[in-house]
Structure 1
Amino acid sequence: MNNWISSIHPSFLSFPVVVMCIGTDKHIVDCYGPLVGTLLQQSNHKYIIFGTLTNPVTAFNIDDSIALAKKMFPHSLIICLDAAISRTPKTGALEIFKGPLKPGDALGKKFTPIGDFHLKGFVNYSETDQDIHFMNDTRLAVVYRMAQVTVHLLQLLHDKIPQH
């Protein structure tokens, strides 16, 4: 995580940082993003947040949310995050990638890629496309803990943002 934080060029941090939290509170398996957005909203931060439990960024509004973020904050660093299902048991793992997230890709949906960096929070695993046990046995405690760790990571990045 420290490598990721140190890899962000300081010029990115002179603009507002946008955190795009994708998901919905309707399913535990998909609430990682909006849970992070809500926890960030409750903390002392300098982020522009898209996606909370009360105002989620979902398939219904993702393209509008992306367009709005790019229009309102054109030079900002955009960090996107979403829940993910792995093919191997790595529930609770967070992975950080440089480059945009492709929302809905795992489900065969094509939405606009978004983000300079993206985080995937692995909320469960499924060995095959037909194995959907993860829908009913994803634990809220695991998702909540991952959200807390993500907020802590973003707070470490917050400490690098210049005070204006």
Structure 2
Amino acid sequence: MIIVEKHYRQLDAKDALIEALHSNLNHLEREPLFICIGTDRNILDCFGPLTGTMIKEKAPELQVYGSLERPLHGKNLRQKLNIIKNNHPSGIEIAIDASVGREEEQGIIKFRHGPLFPGKALGKRLPAVGEFSIIAMVGIKPEVRNWTSLGQGSITPVYHMARLLAAAIVEWNKYRLG
């Protein structure tokens, strides 16, 4: 279920994300765990690790897994999720990842109740992640399985979406902590 859906250029995008985080997470009284999925080796798939890095820089007290230095990707995701679940058995997972879709969806950030499915665009079968999920629509899904095109695109919107989401999470966290 989509809670909020905003284009990163919309003036109220950050406030809408902060409000969605506040209204959906604050009452849960469980430790938030931000699971930032992706790789630093692909421009369009670096949204998760870039966001994770930005959050860690501004709010080191938050539990953030996945950064440019320590990405969570298809090769290590299962193992890292087991470690996260063992270290934080009662934490609430908020999964963050890049996604592809239709051309008109590019630039949209979606905050949803429910998990995301990493690697789906590449046909990978990875575990579902998150009680909540935040995805950034970074590219257009190819009509045919031309996966090399998924790695091509501009980092500019990816950077701006990561910066916006990280700022919203950091600001929400300040309000949450009082």
**TM-score tier after normalising by the smaller chain length:** 0.7 to 0.9
SS at match of 1:161: helix
Give the direction of change, closer, same or farther, for the CA distance of 1:21–1:54 in structure 2 (3 Å limit): same
Contact 1:16 1:46 in 2 (8 A): no
Aligned-residue Cα RMSD (Å) equals 1.9
SS at match of 2:176: coil
Q: State the distance in 2 between where 1:5 and 1:66 align.
A: 22
**Number of residue equivalences:** 161
* Larger helix fraction of residues: 2
Contact 1:18 1:77 in 2 (8 A): yes
SS at match of 2:103: coil
In structure 2, stretches of 5+ residues that fail to align are 1-16
How far residue 160 of structure 1 moved from its aligned partner, in angstroms, is 4.0
Identify which of 140, 144, 157 aligns with 2:159. 144
Contact 2:116 2:129 in 1 (8 A): yes
- % identity of equivalent residues: 25
- Is 1:57 the counterpart of 2:67? The answer is no
How far residue 54 of structure 1 moved from its aligned partner, in angstroms, is 0.9
Higher relative contact order (CA 8 A, sep 6+): 2
SS at match of 1:20: strand
Identify which of 51, 59, 72 aligns with 1:36. 51
SS at match of 1:111: coil
How far residue 74 of structure 1 moved from its aligned partner, in angstroms, is 1.2
Q: State the distance in 1 between where 2:80 and 2:45 align.
A: 18
The equivalent residue for 1:111 is: 126
Aligned-partner residue type, residue 71 of structure 1: N
Q: State the distance in 2 between where 1:72 and 1:85 align.
A: 31
Contact 2:55 2:167 in 1 (8 A): no
Q: State the distance in 1 between where 2:100 and 2:66 align.
A: 20
Aligned-partner residue type, residue 26 of structure 2: P
- Is 1:10 the counterpart of 2:10? The answer is no
Q: State the distance in 2 between where 1:135 and 1:89 align.
A: 19
Q: State the distance in 2 between where 1:62 and 1:161 align.
A: 29
Identify which of 98, 105, 108 aligns with 1:93. 108
In structure 1, stretches of 5+ residues that fail to align are none
Structure 2 length-normalised TM: 0.81
How far residue 144 of structure 1 moved from its aligned partner, in angstroms, is 0.5
Q: State the distance in 1 between where 2:43 and 2:76 align.
A: 19
- Is 1:120 the counterpart of 2:135? The answer is yes
SS at match of 1:31: helix
Contact 1:89 1:124 in 2 (8 A): no
Q: State the distance in 2 between where 1:24 and 1:127 align.
A: 20
